[in-house]
C-alpha cells in the first residue's frame, strides 16, 4: 500500500517541480509604448487613435473612483477611449469644443464587472433543438448582453458557453457593432469525463457544446490549447479531476499567459489551489486549511451566492447532481464567504445567472453586493469589489476597474448615492464603454449608421 502511494507521488513530481504556477506575464516582453488588445491575450495592435473622436466631460456630480477613496464632488474628463482627468469641482480644464453632460444629483463610478456569466444559457421550456442551436445561442447572448449593459455592467467574464459563440459576441461588441459590455471568454468548460456539467452529456443535452470532457493529463493540456486556439481570455476548469490532470491544465494555461479559475468543491479545491489555480468559483464547501492556503497563495474567489439563493428559493436545494454530493444552504454559503473575508482573500462579484434569471437584473447583481455587506463589507468596499477588485481578478487592473488617468473609459452614471444605498445602482442613467455612450437616459443608445456612398454609375 505504501509502495503504491510513493509511486503516485513520484509520478506527480515532474508536474509539480516544473509547473508554471503563475500566468506568464507577457507585458514584461513589451516596451511601454507597445499597443496591445484590451484583453488578457495582449496581442500587438497597430498604433493609432482608438475610441470616438473628441472629449466628453461629466460635470456636476459625485465621483466614486473605485480606488477605495470616498466619493467627492468632481468632474470626469474622457478623451477618446481613456480617462483623461478627474478634476476638482469648479475646475474647467478641458477643450472648448468638448461635449459637456451635466450629471448633478448623480454618482459617477467605474463600470461594474460581472465575473461569472453564461451568455448563451438556454431558458425553461425551450425545445432541445433550439437550445443546442449555435445561432439561437448567439441570439440569446445578444439579449443577455443588453440586460447587463442596462444594469451598468461594462465587462463580463463568460465562464463557459457553446463552441465559438462567446468569441463572436466579444468581437462584435469590441467592433461596436452590437451594444454590450466587454466580453472576456473562457470558451468551453473543461471537466473530467462525467464531471460537473457533463453528467449524462449527449447531443440531446442543453449544455452540449459548452462542455469539453477530458481524460488524462495530456488531454487536459490539449483541451486548454483548443480553447486558446479558439480565442480564450482565461481557462475555466471544473471537478472532477485528478491531481495530475488539474496540474497539467493549469501549467499549460499559465505557460500560454492565461489565468485559470476553477469550479470545484471539498477536497478538489485544495488540489486546484496546490496546482496554482488563480481563483475559485462559488461558495462550495472547503476546509479551514484550504481557506488558509488560498489566502497564503493569493488565490482569488468569486462566491456567486445569489444564484445559489435562487436555487434554494425555487427548488429547495441542489438535487440530482453527482458534482454536488454534500450538504449546503444559504447560511453555509454565507459562512464560507465570511471565512474567506476573515482570511483576507480578495473576492469579486459574479452572478452566474443561468436559466432565465438574467431577467432579474439589475436586482440580482445588487443582491450579490448585499451578500458581501452581510458578510462584513462596508457599502464602499462592496463597490470596490465590483470594480477595482474584479478587474484585478480578471488580470486587467492596469486597464479597468478605477477612474484614473490612462484607464479605459468604462463609466457608469447613476441617480443617487450607491455608496450609501446599494439599491441606487438600479437608477442607471448613462453607461460609457470604451469611450462610447451605449446607455443614455437609461436606454440603449445606438447611433444612426453612416451610409457608404454607392459606387460611381457606369454608362448604360
> Where do the domains of the chain lie, and which CATH numbers do they carry?
55-110+409-444 (2.30.40.10), 112-394 (3.20.20.140)
Residues paired with residue 436 on neighbouring β-strands, in sequence order: 433
Measure the CA angle with vertex 102, ends 98 and 105; round to 5°. 155
Instruction: State yes or no: pLDDT of 142 exceeds 70.
Output: yes
Task: Tell me which residue of 213, 151, 165 sits closest to 353, measured CA to CA.
Answer: 151
Round the average pLDDT of the chain to a whole number and report it: 94
The mean per-residue pLDDT over the stretch 293-302 comes to 98
The mean per-residue pLDDT over the stretch 114-139 comes to 95
Length of the chain as a residue count: 460
Q: Measured in Å, how far apart are the chain's first and last C-alpha atoms?
A: 91
Question: What is the Cα–Cα distance from 448 to 431, expressed in whole angstroms?
Answer: 18
Residue scoring higher pLDDT (323 or 228)? 228
Question: What is the Cα–Cα distance from 429 to 449, expressed in whole angstroms?
Answer: 23
Query: Would you state the pLDDT for residue 6?
Result: 46
Question: What is the Cα–Cα distance from 142 to 203, expressed in whole angstroms?
Answer: 24
Query: Is the Cβ–Cβ distance between 432 and 409 less than 8 Å?
Result: yes
Q: How confident is the model at residue 8 (pLDDT cuts 50, 70, 90)?
A: very low
DSSP 236-250: EEES---HHHHHHHH
Query: Is the Cβ–Cβ distance between 149 and 431 less than 8 Å?
Result: yes
177's enclosing H/E stretch is: none
313's enclosing H/E stretch is: helix 305-315
- pLDDT digit string (tens) for 163-219? 999 999 999 999 999 999 999 999 999 999 999 999 988 898 889 999 999 999 999
Query: Would you state the pLDDT for residue 459?
Result: 81
Query: Would you state the pLDDT for residue 98?
Result: 97
Question: What is the Cα–Cα distance from 153 to 391, expressed in whole angstroms?
Answer: 12
Query: Would you state the pLDDT for residue 9?
Result: 45
Question: What is the Cα–Cα distance from 113 to 214, expressed in whole angstroms?
Answer: 30
Question: What is the Cα–Cα distance from 160 to 262, expressed in whole angstroms?
Answer: 12
Q: Locate cell 442607471: which residue?
A: 428
Phi/psi at 218 (5° precision): -65, -40
Residue 57, CB-side half-sphere exposure with 13 Å CA sphere: 19
Query: Would you state the pLDDT for residue 18?
Result: 54
Residue 184 DSSP label:
E
Question: What is the Cα–Cα distance from 330 to 304, expressed in whole angstroms?
Answer: 11
Within 10 A of 4 (CB to CB), how many other CB atoms are there? 8
Question: What is the Cα–Cα distance from 271 to 31, expressed in whole angstroms?
Answer: 37
Instruction: State yes or no: pLDDT of 339 exceeds 90.
Output: yes
Task: Tell me which residue of 76, 78, 83 sits closest to 103, measured CA to CA.
Answer: 76
Query: Would you state the pLDDT for residue 325?
Result: 86
Query: Is the Cβ–Cβ distance between 250 and 221 less than 8 Å?
Result: no
Those residues with Cβ within 8 angstroms of residue 39's Cβ, 6 or more apart along the chain or in another chain: 182, 184, 233, 396
Question: What is the Cα–Cα distance from 322 to 230, expressed in whole angstroms?
Answer: 30
Question: What is the Cα–Cα distance from 385 to 381, expressed in whole angstroms?
Answer: 6
Task: Tell me which residue of 274, 216, 253 sits closest to 395, measured CA to CA.
Answer: 253
- pLDDT digit string (tens) for 109-125? 999 999 999 999 999 99
Query: Would you state the pLDDT for residue 281?
Result: 98
- pLDDT digit string (tens) for 33-74? 899 999 999 999 999 889 999 999 999 999 999 999 999 999
Percentage of residues in the chain having pLDDT higher than 70: 96
Amino acid at each position: 500500500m505504501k509502495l503504491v502511494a510513493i509511486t503516485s507521488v513520484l509520478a506527480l513530481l515532474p508536474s509539480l517541480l516544473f509547473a508554471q504556477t503563475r500566468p506568464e506575464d507577457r507585458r514584461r516582453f513589451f516596451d511601454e509604448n507597445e499597443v496591445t488588445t484590451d484583453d488578457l491575450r495582449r496581442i500587438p495592435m497597430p498604433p493609432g487613435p482608438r475610441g470616438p473622436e473628441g472629449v466628453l466631460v461629466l460635470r456636476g456630480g459625485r465621483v466614486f473612483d473605485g480606488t477605495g477613496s470616498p466619493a467627492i464632488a468632481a468632474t470626469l474628463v474622457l478623451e477618446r477611449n481613456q480617462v483623461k482627468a478627474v478634476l476638482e469641482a469648479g475646475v474647467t480644464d478641458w477643450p472648448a469644443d468638448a461635449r459637456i453632460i451635466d450629471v448633478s444629483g448623480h454618482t459617477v463610478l467605474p463600470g461594474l464587472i460581472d465575473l461569472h456569466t453564461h451568455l448563451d444559457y438556454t431558458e425553461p421550456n425551450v425545445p432541445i433543438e433550439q437550445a443546442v442551436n449555435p445561432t439561437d445561442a448567439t441570439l440569446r447572448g445578444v439579449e443577455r448582453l443588453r440586460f447587463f449593459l442596462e444594469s451598468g455592467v461594462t465587462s463580463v467574464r463568460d465562464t463557459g458557453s457553446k463552441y465559438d459563440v462567446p468569441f463572436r459576441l466579444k468581437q462584435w461588441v469590441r467592433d461596436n457593432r452590437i451594444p454590450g459590455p466587454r466580453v472576456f471568454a473562457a470558451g468551453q468548460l473543461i471537466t473530467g469525463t462525467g464531471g460537473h456539467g457533463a453528467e449524462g452529456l449527449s447531443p440531446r443535452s442543453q449544455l452540449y457544446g459548452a462542455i469539453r470532457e477530458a481524460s488524462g493529463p495530456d488531454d487536459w493540456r490539449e483541451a486548454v490549447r483548443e480553447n486558446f486556439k479558439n480565442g480564450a481570455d482565461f481557462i475555466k476548469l471544473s471537478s472532477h479531476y485528478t491531481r495530475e490532470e488539474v496540474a497539467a491544465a493549469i501549467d499549460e494555461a499559465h505557460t500560454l499567459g492565461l489565468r485559470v479559475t476553477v469550479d470545484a468543491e471539498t477536497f478538489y479545491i485544495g488540489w486546484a489551489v496546490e496546482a496554482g489555480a488563480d481563483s475559485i468559483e462559488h461558495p462550495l464547501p472547503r476546509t479551514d486549511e484550504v481557506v488558509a492556503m488560498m489566502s497564503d497563495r493569493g488565490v482569488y474567489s468569486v462566491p456567486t451566492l445569489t444564484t445559489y439563493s435562487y436555487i434554494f428559493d425555487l427548488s429547495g436545494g441542489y438535487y440530482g447532481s453527482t458534482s454536488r454530493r454534500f450538504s449546503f444552504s444559504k447560511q453555509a454559503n454565507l459562512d464560507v464567504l465570511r471565512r474567506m473575508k476573515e482570511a483576507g482573500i480578495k473576492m469579486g462579484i459574479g452572478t452566474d445567472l443561468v436559466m432565465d434569471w438574467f431577467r432579474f437584473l439589475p436586482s440580482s447583481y445588487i443582491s450579490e453586493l448585499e451578500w458581501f455587506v452581510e458578510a462584513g463589507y462596508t457599502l464602499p468596499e462592496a463597490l470596490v469589489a465590483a470594480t477595482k477588485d474584479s478587474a484585478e481578478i480578471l488580470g486587467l487592473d492596469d486597464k479597468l476597474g478605477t477612474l484614473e488617468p490612462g484607464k479605459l473609459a468604462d463609466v457608469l452614471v447613476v441617480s443617487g448615492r450607491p455608496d450609501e444605498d446599494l439599491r441606487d445602482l438600479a437608477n442607471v442613467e448613462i453607461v460609457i464603454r470604451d469611450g462610447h455612450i451605449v446607455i443614455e437616459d437609461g436606454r440603449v443608445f445606438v447611433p444612426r449608421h453612416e451610409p457608404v456612398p454607392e459606387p460611381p454609375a457606369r454608362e448604360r
